[in-house]
């Protein structure tokens, strides 16, 4: 029984080694998806592609504004609208082939980045990804925030993710992904938008009009105060990225050691 198990180990380990090397060396795919809407996206801002640079820019603006929460929320909102266009930034096979393969074979969500450090490297980001970046900046500045979750309803078979920011004794609604627009720096809450039907003007463009359905059907709620989504997926990506990049080295070392030991 020992021999078949040992042989099986060698077969599987070499398959892993060869797959890892193939994905690492030849697994690069185009990291940018086409922009399908006319958005506020500004190509030059993609040079802002590290979390450290984003942190510095936001922090400097916050200090320059004398820690004005209304202004900094507007600044982050405007910056992210111009920095990204709509589309998921995805794990690539050359950086994490295990998560990429899991996403292709089992569950699509395995593909999507959930850490600010990864999201900022791409020109596109979906609603949850832009929301995570927004909330990460607010958290670093000590500003209270929440997730505004919009769920599918009778008119729309998909959900959406936006951010609420706390200032002046209340919550205020921000949506960088679908680029909700308001007349003043101080945004209303989603409840005020429903009450006064200002969501119609906020989402009046052709590509974002469908978001009016969430307000019309009241399929919207505030959740997870001061909690950033995606930590479990981030942990999964961290482990699988490490295994994708380095486990083959360990397996190759063991196999070579066994081979040389047998020869000697």
- The verdict on residue 156 lying in a domain is yes
Distances (CA, A) of 62 to 29, 79, 117: 38, 13, 21
Distances (CA, A) of 96 to 52, 100, 104, 131, 247: 23, 6, 13, 23, 12
CB of 179 closer than 8 Å to CB of 133: no
What is the per-residue pLDDT across 46-83, written as a single tens digit (0 to 9) for each?
999 999 999 999 999 999 999 999 999 999 999 999 99
- The verdict on residue 236 lying in a domain is yes
The pTM of this model reads 0.88
Q: Which residues contact 21 (CB under 8 A, 6 or more apart)?
A: 248
d(CA 23, CA 92): 9
Q: How many domains would you assign to the chain?
A: 1
d(CA 74, CA 180): 12
Beta bridge partners of 172: 165
- pLDDT of residue 262 exceeding 80, the answer is no
Q: What CATH number is associated with residue 90?
A: 3.10.620
Would you state the pLDDT for residue 113? 96
- The verdict on residue 13 lying in a domain is no
What is the per-residue pLDDT across 183-213, written as a single tens digit (0 to 9) for each?
999 999 999 999 999 999 999 998 899 999 9
- The verdict on residue 7 lying in a domain is no
- Let me know how many helices (H) and strands (E) the chain has, helices first: 10, 4
- The verdict on residue 169 lying in a domain is yes
Tokens for 183? Answer: 């007349």
Residues spanned by the domain of 71 = 19-24+36-263
d(CA 163, CA 54): 18
Reported as type and span, the H/E element at residue 149 is strand 145-150
- The verdict on residue 144 lying in a domain is yes
Instruction: Compute the average pLDDT of residues 32-52.
Output: 85
With tokens 């900022």, the residue in question is 120
């Amino acid at each position: 029984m020992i021999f078949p198990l040992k042989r099986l180990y060698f077969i599987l380990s070499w398959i892993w080694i060869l797959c890892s090397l193939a994905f690492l060396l030849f697994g690069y795919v185009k990291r940018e998806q086409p922009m399908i809407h006319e958005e506020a996206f500004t190509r030059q801002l993609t040079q802002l592609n590290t979390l450290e640079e984003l942190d510095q820019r936001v922090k400097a603006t916050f200090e320059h504004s004398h820690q004005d929460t209304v202004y900094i929320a507007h600044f982050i909102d405007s910056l992210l609208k111009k920095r990204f266009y709509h589309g998921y930034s995805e794990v690539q096979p050359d950086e994490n082939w295990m998560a990429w393969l899991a996403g292709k074979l089992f569950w699509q969500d395995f593909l999507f980045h959930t850490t600010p450090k990864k999201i900022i490297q791409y020109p596109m980001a979906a609603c949850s990804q832009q929301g995570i970046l927004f909330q990460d900046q607010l958290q670093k500045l000590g500003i209270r925030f929440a997730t505004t979750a919009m769920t599918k309803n009778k008119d729309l078979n998909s959900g959406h993710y936006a951010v609420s920011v706390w200032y002046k004794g209340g919550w205020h609604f921000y949506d960088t992904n679908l680029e909700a627009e308001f007349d003043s720096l101080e945004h209303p809450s989603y409840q005020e938008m429903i009450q006064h039907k200002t969501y119609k003007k906020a989402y009046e463009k052709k590509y974002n009009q469908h978001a009016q359905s969430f307000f019309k059907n009241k399929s919207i709620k505030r959740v997870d105060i001061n909690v950033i989504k995606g930590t479990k997926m981030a942990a999964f990506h961290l482990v699988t990225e490490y295994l994708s990049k380095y486990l083959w080295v360990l397996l190759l070392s063991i196999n070579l050691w066994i081979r040389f030991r047998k020869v000697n």
